[in-house]
């Protein structure tokens, strides 16, 4: 039985207000092709289908189009397991439940409850059938856990109550699976959570999770788990050195900081209860992300020169705007550059790119004003001295006479209580 594991799509994501719709459409088309080409039996999506709890219409349309495509003839026997992540609204993801059931998909937007208000353990147990219709695996599909989903543990011990609650819940689900499973059937875990000893991406993962503030140790998953398909971290990785417990990673980079590493899905071949083979398949990138300079910061002339050497927009045979690479600039300056933004935007204009951020760093002495003059109280300094100290913090050298004159003119004007009028 072959399983394809993916997660953290974040449909509806925008990068500095620019839609990622085309990149997502490109990924979903590629994924359908991969499911067919690789003869996949089970598709697992481990949470964060959407970027927000209230997805844009275009994101919902992409999701519905995708799941409708999964019930065409070419995917007749495909098993589909989906859990909600912390970005997803459980209720919104569950809303088309009658359609999912009709299609035979297993979608758990949030932890399911019985009519009595108890966590419905059995509803998180999913038998997975091979193309011959035999149950080849049991899947423990646990959506992102919110505080109210966790059992209260009185003797939490070193774990603390949150981790102890997560551990207890997984134990109940895996325990129930063991009650149904035969030895030749695989045991698959699915979760959306933050594991200890994993590598983070700086921007995108919300580090403080409401019900899951603590990173969860890898031993919450039992030794007899054949494979655990995780979502939440955007960098693909095995957890704690265990090759069968993995984050699939996001299929597209969701920030500039995620551009440098490969984006992928994972193919897992099961032989009875054992994993025979795990293989990452890279998702081709539709839109490049360019950092100028490649690492660190550069002075303005170098930044302008690098921008100027980017490919030009060709009039007449223009590349569609949505395919142009994203560019982030990291510039360091030693003097005030009032026209910095204009100069950079001008250099980027006419180039076949989309400039999304300009990050500025200053080459001055990055000391706080109080630290720079440790023996003097602020009261003892003149306004002019404070201004010069503040200037030196960001820039090299001292302010020009022109700038000092302008500053004193402003001070005088403010002290007179008059309006500031440029002369
Ligand atoms: Mn997440």
**Domains and their CATH numbers in the chain:** 2-282 (3.60.21.10), 289-415 (no CATH)
Report the separation in Å between the CA atom of 50 and the middle of ligand 1, taken as the mean of its atom positions: 10
Per-residue pLDDT, 198? 64
Query: DSSP for 80-145?
Result: EEEE--TTS-HHHHHTTHHHHHHHT-EEESS--B-TTS-B-TGGGEEEEE-TTS-EEEEEEEEPPP
Per-residue pLDDT, 201? 63
Report the separation in Å between the CA atom of 248 and the middle of ligand 1, taken as the mean of its atom positions: 12
Distance CA 398, CA 413 (A): 23
Report the separation in Å between the CA atom of 47 and the middle of ligand 1, taken as the mean of its atom positions: 7
Q: How many CA atoms lie within 13 A of 256 on its CB side?
A: 19
Cβ 9 vs Cβ 234: under 8 Å: no
Per-residue pLDDT, 364? 75
Report the separation in Å between the CA atom of 149 and the middle of ligand 1, taken as the mean of its atom positions: 17
Alpha-carbon distances, residue 394 vs 84, 300, 387, 407 (angstroms): 45, 15, 11, 16
Per-residue pLDDT, 402? 86
Per-residue pLDDT, 31? 98
Report the separation in Å between the CA atom of 169 and the middle of ligand 1, taken as the mean of its atom positions: 19
Distance CA 334, CA 329 (A): 16
Question: Tell me: the pLDDT tens digits for 260-309?
Answer: 889 999 999 999 999 999 999 999 999 999 999 998 899 999 999 999 99
H/E stretch holding 67 reads helix 57-69
Rg (CA), the chain: 27
Q: What is residue 34's three-state secondary structure? A: helix
Cβ 193 vs Cβ 149: under 8 Å: no
Report the separation in Å between the CA atom of 232 and the middle of ligand 1, taken as the mean of its atom positions: 4
Report the separation in Å between the CA atom of 312 and the middle of ligand 1, taken as the mean of its atom positions: 38
Distance CA 290, CA 208 (A): 29
Query: DSSP for 5-25?
Result: EE----BT-EETTEE-HHHHH
Q: Which residues of the chain have pLDDT under 70?
A: 156, 197-213, 316-318, 365-378, 418-423
Distance CA 186, CA 137 (A): 4
Cβ atoms within 10 Å of 284's Cβ, excluding its own: 9
Distance CA 246, CA 44 (A): 12
Per-residue pLDDT, 408? 85
Q: pTM value?
A: 0.83
Residue whose structure tokens are 């999701």: 63
- The residues near 327 (Cβ < 8 Å, ≥ 6 apart) are 289, 290, 291, 292, 307, 310, 348, 353, 354, 355, 356
Per-residue pLDDT, 210? 37
Report the separation in Å between the CA atom of 68 and the middle of ligand 1, taken as the mean of its atom positions: 25
Report the separation in Å between the CA atom of 308 and the middle of ligand 1, taken as the mean of its atom positions: 38
Report the separation in Å between the CA atom of 291 and the middle of ligand 1, taken as the mean of its atom positions: 25
Tokens of 181: 């499973």
Alpha-carbon distances, residue 377 vs 30, 371, 389, 407 (angstroms): 64, 11, 13, 21
Tokens of 379: 């009261």
Cβ 340 vs Cβ 303: under 8 Å: no
Cβ 183 vs Cβ 164: under 8 Å: no
Distance CA 15, CA 356 (A): 8
- The residues near 87 (Cβ < 8 Å, ≥ 6 apart) are 10, 47, 48, 50, 51, 52, 53, 206
Report the separation in Å between the CA atom of 199 and the middle of ligand 1, taken as the mean of its atom positions: 14
Report the separation in Å between the CA atom of 196 and the middle of ligand 1, taken as the mean of its atom positions: 15
Cβ atoms within 10 Å of 153's Cβ, excluding its own: 17
Report the separation in Å between the CA atom of 405 and the middle of ligand 1, taken as the mean of its atom positions: 53
Query: DSSP for 173-205?
Result: HHHHHHHH--TTSEEEEEEE--BSS-PPPTTTS
| Partners of 360 in the β-ladder | 331
Report the separation in Å between the CA atom of 207 and the middle of ligand 1, taken as the mean of its atom positions: 9
Report the separation in Å between the CA atom of 213 and the middle of ligand 1, taken as the mean of its atom positions: 13
Report the separation in Å between the CA atom of 415 and the middle of ligand 1, taken as the mean of its atom positions: 53
Report the separation in Å between the CA atom of 419 and the middle of ligand 1, taken as the mean of its atom positions: 50
What is the b/e burial string over 241-279, where b = at least 16 CB atoms within 10 angstroms of the residue's CB? Answer: eeebbbbbbbbbbbbbbbbeeebbbbbbebeebebeebe
Report the separation in Å between the CA atom of 408 and the middle of ligand 1, taken as the mean of its atom positions: 52
């Amino acid at each position: 039985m072959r399983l394809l594991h993916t997660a953290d799509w974040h449909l509806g994501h925008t990068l500095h207000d620019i839609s990622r719709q085309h990149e997502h459409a490109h990924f979903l088309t590629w994924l359908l092709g991969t499911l067919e080409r690789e003869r996949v039996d089970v598709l697992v999506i481990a949470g964060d289908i959407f970027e927000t709890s209230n997805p844009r219409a275009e994101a919902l349309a992409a999701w519905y189009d995708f799941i409708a495509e999964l019930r065409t003839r070419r995917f007749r026997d495909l098993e589909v397991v989906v859990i909600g992540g912390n970005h997803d609204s459980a209720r919104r993801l569950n809303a088309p439940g009658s359609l999912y059931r009709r299609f035979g998909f297993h979608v758990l937007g949030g932890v399911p409850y019985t009519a009595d208000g108890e966590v419905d353990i059995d509803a998180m147990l999913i038998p997975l059938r091979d193309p011959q219709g035999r149950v080849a695996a049991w899947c423990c599909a646990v959506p992102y856990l919110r505080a109210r989903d966790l059992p209260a543990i009185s003797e939490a011990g070193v774990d603390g109550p949150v981790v102890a609650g997560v551990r207890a819940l997984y134990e109940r689900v895996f325990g129930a699976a063991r009650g149904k499973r035969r030895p030749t059937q695989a045991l698959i875990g699915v979760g959306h959570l933050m594991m200890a000893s994993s590598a983070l991406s700086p921007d995108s993962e919300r580090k403080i999770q409401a019900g899951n503030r603590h990173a969860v140790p890898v031993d919450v998953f039992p030794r007899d788990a054949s494979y655990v398909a995780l979502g939440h971290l955007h960098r693909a990785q095995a957890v704690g050195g265990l090759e069968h417990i993995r984050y699939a990673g996001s299929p597209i980079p969701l920030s500039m900081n995620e551009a440098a590493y490969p984006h992928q899905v994972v193919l897992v071949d099961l032989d009875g209860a054992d994993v025979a083979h795990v293989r990452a398949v890279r998702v081709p990138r539709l839109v490049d992300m360019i950092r100028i300079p490649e690492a660190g910061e550069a002075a303005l002339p170098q930044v302008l020169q690098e921008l100027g050497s980017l490919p030009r927009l060709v009039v007449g045979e223009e590349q569609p705007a949505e395919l142009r690479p994203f560019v982030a600039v990291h510039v360091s300056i030693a003097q005030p550059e009032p026209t910095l933004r204009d100069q950079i935007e001008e250099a980027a204009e006419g180039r076949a790119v989309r400039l999304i951020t300009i990050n500025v760093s200053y080459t001055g002495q990055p000391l706080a004003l109080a630290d720079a003059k440790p023996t003097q109280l602020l009261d003892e300094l003149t306004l002019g001295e404070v201004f010069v100290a503040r200037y030196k913090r960001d820039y090299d050298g001292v302010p020009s006479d022109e700038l000092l004159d302008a500053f004193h003119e402003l001070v005088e004007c403010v002290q007179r209580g008059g309006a500031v009028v440029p002369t």
